[in-house]
Amino acid sequence: MNMKEELIIAGFGGQGVLSMGRILAYSGIIQDKEVTWMPSYGPEMRGGTANVTVIISDKRISSPILQWCDTAIVLNQQSMDKFEPMIKEGGVLLYDPNGISRHPTRKDIKVYTIDAVDLANKMEMSRVFNMVVLGAYLKVKPILETENVIKGLRKSLPERYHHLIPLNEKAIEVGMQHVKEV
Amino acid sequence: MAEKLLKKGNEAIALAAIRYGADGYFGYPITPQSEVMETLMEEMPWETTGMVVLQAESETSSINMLYGGACCGKKVMTSSSSPGISLMCEGLSYMAGAELPCLVVNVIRGGPGLGTIQPAQGDYFQAVKGGGHGDYKVIVLAPASVQEMYDFVGLSFDLAFKYRTPVMILSDGAIGQMMEKVELREPIKRLTDQEIAEKYGDWATVGKQPHRDGNIISSLSLEASEMEEINLRLQAKYQKIKENEVRYETLQCEDAEYMLVAFGSSARICESTVEMAREKGIKLGLLRPITLFPFPEEGIQKMLPQLKGVMSVELNAGQMVEDVKLAVNGKVPVEFYGRMGGSIFSPGEVFEAFSEKFNL
């Protein structure tokens, strides 16, 4: 069976949305998959929200622009409003309830939560927030080997941050442990 | 096996320039292609290959630096986005007239005017039909992936020198900003001044050689009869390019009854539309022109006996569709679907438009 995962990650600029997508895409390459990473770079980015479309597939990828997605990772309210309707029937919505006032209502998708803001703060490292989310995602959708994700992380982080890799690894584990199905 | 990197289309252009032995890049920043020069500055090729990377004071200045570099037989290039390319069109006409090789990358954004920074394909006419004044053409390549952004830099330099003509890579914000897997090719060394003199000394201004008069490179010729000669020579060259350099790709066209024609990012989106149609049992194919000049007229014509209709799909108000219509020449209905100003269609929107136009 050919694997193809079409994923949208969306939140505020600065939450590490784009870099999370980049780590996934790099991990995909390490695992010999085809990948595309398509960021929003328009005025919406300058206005504070950011999103990225990541496609990981065994086969050549056609459109990098999606109409529907298999999974949406949602990290703020605007993104919830925009992307909940885009998830395919039977798809996955993963979100951090922190700052979400209108929770998802669809019954034909699987919904998961991860308290990534709280968990990252408890680790006294709010910057690994996105890695907690990434861990939660990989638990729900184990499309890539964790080992390759760590390699992907190494590839996409500048060397001056490589001393932070163990912390990031820890954050991925924490995310994996704490993701909850709603 | 060569290392596979995850790179943006714009970054791939920069890495390719260094690895294909470019001598100089001259540009001015503009979204959505600023990563080209940013990457070049980060890579600092002047310390390794000796390639010059220079931020000019304007696009007008960049293109004229290309003119100067190309006169000396150097591999020179620039990149910009729509409004910046408009500023370069005068220089492009001069370079075409003076028969100078160069590479110009246009990462198109929505227009007209200052427009917007999102992807569009509204510069098709400008690239393919002229842009600048006079009867000239540039070879236009339309990459649809990050790997092609990389590979077409090498191809562009080859074609530019083979025909002594400017070559344009016509990309857009989507391909420029998107990251994909890219495999770096074996690097090619920059030519030394002596090698340039040997290879291009018969036309380039590399210093007067004892066996010939000094070379003069100019696009000016006040004698009408001489200017007509130059034009005839240019037209003969464009004819040769048409005969030898057409490139295109087809997808699911073997049994197709309908065909989409799309280039660049639109073609990628249309690939998904073709998959959608096939799932519904509709025999739809896709023809993707890789060279926009020369346009794959024959590729389209070959398909006509089996087709009931053709739809050109573009991120503009309908530009390439005119060339599609010229190729089809009334033999089957030709429809158009597009969006403008930085808005992108989804594969499903293309499919809906296609079904509606052909009553399927």
Q: What are phi and psi of B181, to 5 degrees?
A: -70, 135
Q: What is the pLDDT of residue B271?
A: 97
Burial label, B101 (beta-carbon count in 10 A; 0-12, 13-18, 19+): buried
Alpha-carbon torsion, ordered A68, A72, A78, A80, to 10 deg: 90
Q: What is the pLDDT of residue B273?
A: 97
Q: Measuring CA to CA, how many Å separate B85 from each of A81, B126, B136?
A: 38, 9, 16
Mean pLDDT within A21-42: 93
DSSP string, B183-211: EPPPP-PPPPHHHHHHHHTTTS-SS--TT
Q: Do domains B4-183 and B248-357 have the same CATH topology?
A: yes
Q: What are phi and psi of B108, to 5 degrees?
A: -65, 140
Q: What gap in Å lies between CA A79 and CA B188, rounded to an integer?
A: 46
C-alpha angle B142-B267-A64 in degrees, rounded to nearest 5: 105
Q: What is the pLDDT of residues A119-159, one digit of tens each?
A: 999 887 888 999 999 999 999 999 999 999 999 999 888 89
- Of the candidates A22, A34, A42, the beta carbon closest to that of B181 is on A34
Q: What is the pLDDT of residue A44?
A: 61
| Contact at CB, B178 and A35, closer than 8 angstroms | no
Asked whether the beta carbons of A19 and A130 are under 8 A apart, the reply is: yes
Counting DSSP H helices and E strands in chain B, the numbers are 13, 14
Q: What is the pLDDT of residue B308?
A: 98
| Contact at CB, B180 and A63, closer than 8 angstroms | no
Q: What is the pLDDT of residue B316?
A: 98
Tally of CA atoms within 13 A in the half-sphere of B142 that contains its CB: 32
CATH topology of domain B248-357: Rossmann fold (3.40.50)
Identify the band that residue A11 occupies on the pLDDT scale cut at 50, 70 and 90. very high
| Contact at CB, B344 and A41, closer than 8 angstroms | no
Q: What is the pLDDT of residue B1?
A: 55
Q: What is the pLDDT of residues B116-131, one digit of tens each?
A: 999 999 999 999 998 9
Q: What gap in Å lies between CA B336 and CA B313, rounded to an integer?
A: 6
Q: What gap in Å lies between CA B273 and CA B359, rounded to an integer?
A: 16
Spell out the domain ranges in chain B.
4-183, 248-357
Q: What is the pLDDT of residue A40?
A: 85
Residue type at position B348: G
- Per-residue pLDDT 10s for chain B (360 aa) are 577 999 999 999 999 999 999 999 999 999 999 999 999 999 999 999 999 999 999 999 999 999 999 999 999 999 999 999 999 999 999 999 999 999 999 999 999 999 999 999 999 999 999 899 999 999 999 999 999 999 999 999 999 999 999 999 999 999 999 999 999 999 999 999 999 999 999 999 999 888 889 999 999 999 999 999 999 999 999 999 999 999 999 999 999 999 999 999 999 999 999 999 999 999 999 999 999 999 999 999 999 999 999 999 999 999 999 999 999 999 999 999 999 999 999 999 999 999 999 999
| Contact at CB, B271 and A62, closer than 8 angstroms | yes
B contacts of A155 (beta carbons < 8 Å): 6
Contacts of B313 (CB under 8 A, 6+ apart): B260, B261, B262, B266, B269, B270, B273, B336, B337, B338, B345, B350
Asked whether the beta carbons of A87 and A104 are under 8 A apart, the reply is: no
Residue type at position B243: E
Which superfamily does CATH assign the domain made up of B4-183 to? Answer: Thiamin diphosphate (ThDP)-binding fold, Pyr/PP domains (3.40.50.970)
Identify the band that residue A46 occupies on the pLDDT scale cut at 50, 70 and 90. low
Q: Domains, chain A, ranges and CATH?
A: 4-115+141-158 (3.40.920.10)
Asked whether the beta carbons of B310 and B335 are under 8 A apart, the reply is: yes
Nearest residue in chain B measured CA to CA from A27: B6
Question: Average pLDDT of chain A?
Answer: 92
Q: B residues 111-140 near A, CB within 8 Å?
A: 116-118
Q: What is the pLDDT of residue A155?
A: 87
Q: Measuring CA to CA, how many Å separate B218 from each of A122, B60, B66, B96, B205?
A: 70, 18, 14, 10, 11
Instruction: Supply the angle between the helices B9-19 and B146-163 in degrees, to the nearest 10.
Output: 40
CA A160: distance to chain centroid?
Answer: 24
| Contact at CB, A41 and B180, closer than 8 angstroms | no
* Best residue in A44, A59, A63 for a mutation probing chain B (most B CBs within 10 Å): A63
* For residue A45, pLDDT beyond 70: no
Q: A residues 65-84 near B, CB within 8 Å?
A: 65-67
Q: Measuring CA to CA, how many Å separate B25 from each of B40, B43, B132, B150?
A: 9, 13, 21, 15
Q: What is the CA radius of gyration of chain A?
A: 15
What strands, in cross-sheet order, belong to the sheet with A87-95?
A: A180-181, A110-113, A87-95, A69-74, A4-12, A49-57, A34-39, B179-183, B4-8
* For residue A15, pLDDT beyond 90: no
Inter-chain contacts counted by CB atoms under 8 A, chains A and B: 73
Q: What gap in Å lies between CA B158 and CA B102, rounded to an integer?
A: 10
Mean pLDDT within A90-95: 98
Burial label, A109 (beta-carbon count in 10 A; 0-12, 13-18, 19+): middle
- Which of B308, B346, B338, B305 lies closest to B321, judged by CA? B338
Q: What is the pLDDT of residue B150?
A: 98
Q: Which structure tokens are listed for B184?
A: 């770096």
B347 interfacial to chain A (CB closer than 8 Å): yes
Q: What is the pLDDT of residues A106-123, one digit of tens each?
A: 999 999 999 999 999 988
3-state secondary structure of A171: helix
A20 interfacial to chain B (CB closer than 8 Å): no
| Contact at CB, B271 and A35, closer than 8 angstroms | no
